[in-house]
Structure 1
Amino acid sequence: MRNFHLAGRSTVHSLNGMAASSHPQATLTAIEVLKAGGTAADAAVAACALQGVIEPQSTGIGGDCFALIQPKGEGRVHSYNGSGRAPKAATAEWYMERKMYAIPTTGPHAVTVPGSIDAWATILKDHGKFGLDTLLQPAIKAAEEGYVVAPRVAFDWKNNLEKIRAGINAPRYLLKNNEAPVAGDVMKQPELGQTLRTIARLGPDGFYKGYVAEDMVETLRANGGLHTMQDFADHTTERTTPLSTNYKGLDVWQCPPNGPGITMLVMLNILSNFDLAKYPPLSIERFHLEAEAARIAYLMREQDIGDPAYVGIDIERILSKQFAADWAAKIRMDALVELPDVKPPINPETVYITVIDKDRNVCSFINSVAHAFGSAVVSNKTGVVMQNRGAGFRVQPGHPNCIAPGKRPLHTIIPSMTTENGRAKMSFAVMGGQYQPVGQTHVLTNMVDYGMDVQEAIDLPRGLHYEGVYGLESGVSSEIADGLAKIGHVIGRPVSPWGGAQAIWIDWEKGTLTGGSEPRKDGCALGY
């Protein structure tokens, strides 16, 4: 129960449909689509397309998309992999010959073929009522007529000013008089609006073929990229079978590799060996156990996970309860498990949208350009900010995530969903680079183990053990930080907060929806 003496947010409740996103205009757009008769998938695509204009640091048509959808909230959960591939000329040997032993985070080599547009079209074909011609209109209007910059967007923009200034075409498209816009400024991107109009008219072919693709390829190749028109024309979305584990009565679903959702499932399996509820939610013990589960799961991910079209992954072994129990037995409450250092290649940005419609179609939808403003490459004439997902590859022959022609990198974005006896209970995710598996575990255990509602679970202070440092938000007390340090954790305090969550819970008996939204972002949950 919320304490109304304290600043915070109430949960949002509705009977019909609900949406939650990291931007109020995107959430409102999703609700408008639902009211117009659209499905949850329709609403998510429209909201995400708009966010690609008004939250350009996090997402856009130059990025990738993953989604989980459960029609009518029952039965099969559908999984979509809309991640792009490396150019067919991109071999590890090519990079090593040029003494490039890591893919840069900016510039053309960081760019993989953007997967979002084809993913949106595929999802709409399977689960939508409207087409891109209708659903892109709010984004087109924002790009051409202008939008107001929100506070968190402005914060991220300022923090990435030098990156944009050093980018390819980025200053021209993304800055005002070579400065980052501030909250309240009005921004326009007419070139991007025209690109969106082309996609609205021609569908995915308007992006992967024709003048838009030609301009993207020309921009990349002129700056040393290996991309070809054929790389873009060959892109396809994959319909996949989701992975799941059971955590204390709830089945938790994730997209399979090359998505990293398996990391969160391993964390849950490890934590299921402990009685978290005997420790306070803000306690040394709880944060320690979460960190140890994360360290183990991230080690597994970096050692074992890559594009399954290129490497074998023993998913059955990794998700087995025995695998988790063996690791859980190594965890001590007074010291850290000795593990090799894990340094994932990138720690990017994302937007996440969840929508449930009046027919209880459930859509968990995530879209990203990887790092803030992606590769800092903007296509010459089209205004497309291109992702830097390729920086997630390793240049290390034999590694499951080594770059290869047409290969998809190990990703970071993970939509999630929970069901109970086959019926949807919650659609949720926590965006934010490498934090996502930890964030989803944190929010879900807040609810399952500590009885919090969706908003309380999202609000609670967070930490991320990443590259040897346990970064604790300012809401985590110095007493907890000191206690973790005594165990052996190296403590840091991040400049930006961790993650950005959205969640919708279904109460089938009452026939209602309950939503929560991230206070660390600009957005909200809305229902009708």
Structure 2
Amino acid sequence: MSRLALALLLTLPLAAAAADRVTGKAFATRSEVIAPHGMVATSQPLATQIGLDILKQGGSALDAAVAANAALGLMEPTGNGIGGDLFAIVWDAKTRKLYGYNGSGRSPATLTLEYFQQQGITDIPPTGPLPVSVPGCVDAWFALHDKFGRLPMKKLLAPTIAYARDGFPVSELIAWYWQRSVPRLSKYPGFKEQFTRDGVAPAKGERWRNPYLADTLEAIGKGGRDAFYKGRIAGTIGDYMKANGGFLSAADLAAHRGEWVEPLSTNYRGYDVWELPPNGQGVAALAMLNILEGYDFSKIPFGSVEHVHLFAEAKKLAFADRAQHFADPAFAKLPLKGLIAKDYAAERRKLIGDTAAKSVDAGHPPLDEGDTIYLTTADKDGNMVSLIQSNYRGMGSGMTPPGLGFILQDRGEMFVLKPGNANSYAPGKRPFHTIIPAFVTKGGKPWLSFGVMGGAMQPQGHVQIVMNLIDFGMNLQEAGDAPRIQHDGSTEPTGQATAMSDGGEINLETGYSWETVRGLLQKGHKVTYADGPYGGYQAIAWDEKNQVWIGASESRKDGQAAGY
């Protein structure tokens, strides 16, 4: 595509935007959802309704989140499921405190770095048995439920079990991703039998059933977390992996435990933005915000050359540190406080010039002495949950144990197969993780629970939502619908990492002016149009003045925000 053609394309209005809305919110595809008692926002409307029903039955925000997550594992297997990992941030109204949970699993105890070296494998493959790590989702459900749940787990899983047996209509975007995954994953035993009909993915509107998953969820509802991590299910997974060249064992599953973690925050213009510490990448969003806080965006319009340029350059700096310093803290000493220190941000900010940086080195922060779905829920008592869950690449590894109805994740692909890196592979280690929930408080009170799923887009999406709300004065729906920026090409903390040497490229959604595109090109940026890599947003805000919940859902996905 020529630069002229690209520039002309980008002058088109955002596909779903209504520039003539009488409210004056030009980017909003629809109004915010406002309700007095509770709110659920997910990427699939039926899952949203399940969560809402749980709230109406007296369930907590956490109960609704677990019920909705279980439904998404059935209805959106292209992004998540009980074969994957989970992270969550919970606002507990009783203690007026945020709690973080890292529900990511570890690598198999019997798989070593030496094995990869002996086999001549330099990068862990994205599918098959080698990238499979322990799935942490079910453990996280029970750990969170033990602390914040009200209704029995059986009741939370019952709606999904019913849909799994009776069938549900597959929604449009999920059908599209499902159809793309089938040719790639059908070679793995169990996938074709459990996730296709005679080798064909379900079409939009077609009813899909998964009786195997119904059986698995029933066993979990009756037997608790141990029904998954010990006994028949764990044995089936271990036997299947061994028979198909894998290393994940029943012993690995039995040894798994997730971890309660303290969320980290930075203050952005009076608002405290919260993320979870590594092995996830949330700290990158905080680092970007610290760098961008040094610029006065009341004088820099949304969508201007300066806005996009500063955003991309801040991202390059934060991601250079992400590649160097983010890993499992049990295996590496990570400079977390240094990475989000204001003086360190000021030092990094000095590296931003008037033109695009072609390469960026990691900094030296002071050491401390420490495809995916996103959903959020809120209940009548003021509790809020920010939850993200994933199989990693779409439908995961393709490894589908017989008779269980779910696919194992391929998160182990994110390890580096070179010694000396913070994220180097080791047995029993958690890989670098992309999935991150977020939360914002103001004056010690809850203000916003939100997330933007989508690989390396996630910290970039978090920053854009925060800026759209705080710097550009958008409402909650408009903040998600406004055209997005994604910078691609930074050095990565993964096996496929190569150092950025060409400045990467800026992907812009339709809605940016040709003047902005031309100005970015003049600054030395490579600008491209990309269809789809901009993530998936859900959000719930608390309106303290009116004592109501406000919900917003991603217009680029199938989802829905709903309240009562």
Structure 1 length-normalised TM: 0.96
Q: Could you say which residue in structure 1 is the equivalent of 2:21?
A: 4
Shift of 1:334: 2.8
Q: Could you say which residue in structure 2 is the equivalent of 1:222?
A: 243
Q: Could you say which residue in structure 2 is the equivalent of 1:431?
A: 453
Q: Could you say which residue in structure 2 is the equivalent of 1:346?
A: none
Shift of 1:218: 1.6
Q: Whole-Å Cα distance in 2 between the matches of residues 290 and 102 of structure 1?
A: 31
Q: Could you say which residue in structure 2 is the equivalent of 1:522?
A: 558
1:475 has 2:475 as partner: no
1:314 has 2:319 as partner: no
1:170 has 2:191 as partner: yes
1:251 has 2:272 as partner: yes
Q: For 1:202, give the aligned amino acid.
A: G
1:38 has 2:56 as partner: no
Q: Could you say which residue in structure 2 is the equivalent of 1:293?
A: 314
Match of 1:203 among 224, 234, 242: 224
Q: Could you say which residue in structure 2 is the equivalent of 1:501?
A: 537
Q: For 1:483, give the aligned amino acid.
A: G
| SS in structure 1 at match of 2:352 | coil
Q: Deviations over 1:79-110 (max 9, x none)?
A: 00000000011221221111111111001111
Shift of 1:8: 1.6
Task: Check whether the contact 2:241–2:249 (CA below 8 A) recurs between aligned residues.
Answer: no
Q: Whole-Å Cα distance in 2 between the matches of residues 99 and 402 of structure 1?
A: 16
Q: Whole-Å Cα distance in 2 between the matches of residues 380 and 77 of structure 1?
A: 39
| SS in structure 1 at match of 2:77 | coil
Shift of 1:161: 3.0
Q: Whole-Å Cα distance in 2 between the matches of residues 521 and 59 of structure 1?
A: 15
Q: Could you say which residue in structure 1 is the equivalent of 2:497?
A: none
Q: Whole-Å Cα distance in 1 between the matches of residues 247 and 557 of structure 2?
A: 36
Query: Higher mean Cα deviation, 418-427 or 179-188?
Result: 179-188
Q: Could you say which residue in structure 2 is the equivalent of 1:392?
A: 414
Q: 1:487 to 1:161 in 2, by over 3 A?
A: farther
Alignment map for 1:66-105 (pairs within 5 Å): 66-72=87-93, 75-105=96-126
Q: For 2:21, give the aligned amino acid.
A: F
Query: Higher mean Cα deviation, 472-481 or 36-45?
Result: 472-481
Q: Could you say which residue in structure 2 is the equivalent of 1:487?
A: 523
Q: For 1:523, give the aligned amino acid.
A: G
Task: Check whether the contact 2:457–2:533 (CA below 8 A) recurs between aligned residues.
Answer: no
1:378 has 2:378 as partner: no
Alignment map for 1:230-245 (pairs within 5 Å): 230-245=251-266
Q: Could you say which residue in structure 1 is the equivalent of 2:391?
A: 369
| Same amino acid, percent of matched pairs | 40
Shift of 1:396: 1.2
Q: 1:302 to 1:168 in 2, by over 3 A?
A: farther
Task: Check whether the contact 2:309–2:356 (CA below 8 A) recurs between aligned residues.
Answer: no
Q: Whole-Å Cα distance in 2 between the matches of residues 236 and 111 of structure 1?
A: 17
Unaligned runs of 5+ in 2: 1-17, 363-370, 490-503
| SS in structure 1 at match of 2:456 | helix
Match of 1:461 among 483, 488, 508: 483
Q: Whole-Å Cα distance in 1 between the matches of residues 170 and 161 of structure 2?
A: 16
| SS in structure 1 at match of 2:561 | strand
Q: Could you say which residue in structure 1 is the equivalent of 2:498?
A: none
Shift of 1:323: 1.1
**RMSD of aligned alpha carbons:** 1.6
Unaligned runs of 5+ in 1: 342-348
Q: 1:171 to 1:331 in 2, by over 3 A?
A: same
Shift of 1:167: 3.2
Query: Higher mean Cα deviation, 374-383 or 119-128?
Result: 374-383
| SS in structure 2 at match of 1:521 | coil
Task: Check whether the contact 2:107–2:412 (CA below 8 A) recurs between aligned residues.
Answer: yes
| SS in structure 2 at match of 1:276 | coil
Q: 1:128 to 1:71 in 2, by over 3 A?
A: same
1:58 has 2:79 as partner: yes
Q: Whole-Å Cα distance in 2 between the matches of residues 421 and 450 of structure 1?
A: 21
Task: Check whether the contact 1:102–1:395 (CA below 8 A) recurs between aligned residues.
Answer: yes
Query: Higher mean Cα deviation, 93-102 or 230-239?
Result: 93-102
| SS in structure 2 at match of 1:374 | coil
| SS in structure 2 at match of 1:278 | coil
Q: Whole-Å Cα distance in 2 between the matches of residues 19 and 46 of structure 1?
A: 11
Shift of 1:337: 5.8
Match of 2:325 among 304, 321, 337: 304
Task: Check whether the contact 2:277–2:336 (CA below 8 A) recurs between aligned residues.
Answer: no
| SS in structure 2 at match of 1:181 | coil
Query: Higher mean Cα deviation, 482-491 or 25-34?
Result: 482-491
Task: Check whether the contact 1:73–1:423 (CA below 8 A) recurs between aligned residues.
Answer: no
Q: Whole-Å Cα distance in 1 between the matches of residues 235 and 559 of structure 2?
A: 35
Tell me how many residue pairs correspond in the alignment.
Answer: 521
Structure 2 length-normalised TM: 0.90
1:106 has 2:127 as partner: yes
Shift of 1:478: 4.1
Shift of 1:177: 2.8
Query: Higher mean Cα deviation, 2-11 or 295-304?
Result: 2-11
| SS in structure 2 at match of 1:66 | strand
Query: Higher mean Cα deviation, 249-258 or 177-186?
Result: 177-186
Q: Could you say which residue in structure 1 is the equivalent of 2:297?
A: 276
Task: Check whether the contact 2:373–2:390 (CA below 8 A) recurs between aligned residues.
Answer: yes
Q: Whole-Å Cα distance in 2 between the matches of residues 288 and 175 of structure 1?
A: 45
Q: For 2:42, give the aligned amino acid.
A: S
Shift of 1:46: 0.1
Q: Whole-Å Cα distance in 2 between the matches of residues 350 and 480 of structure 1?
A: 31
| SS in structure 2 at match of 1:136 | helix
Query: Higher mean Cα deviation, 35-44 or 186-195?
Result: 186-195
Query: Higher mean Cα deviation, 149-158 or 162-171?
Result: 162-171
Shift of 1:527: 0.8
Q: For 1:209, give the aligned amino acid.
A: K
Shift of 1:3: 4.7
Q: 1:206 to 1:396 in 2, by over 3 A?
A: same
| SS in structure 1 at match of 2:130 | helix
Task: Check whether the contact 1:107–1:168 (CA below 8 A) recurs between aligned residues.
Answer: no
Q: Whole-Å Cα distance in 2 between the matches of residues 455 and 127 of structure 1?
A: 28
Shift of 1:138: 1.4
Q: Whole-Å Cα distance in 2 between the matches of residues 478 and 385 of structure 1?
A: 44
Task: Check whether the contact 2:237–2:249 (CA below 8 A) recurs between aligned residues.
Answer: no
Q: Could you say which residue in structure 1 is the equivalent of 2:6?
A: none
| SS in structure 2 at match of 1:410 | coil
Task: Check whether the contact 1:2–1:10 (CA below 8 A) recurs between aligned residues.
Answer: no
| SS in structure 1 at match of 2:192 | helix
Q: Whole-Å Cα distance in 2 between the matches of residues 216 and 396 of structure 1?
A: 29
Shift of 1:19: 0.9
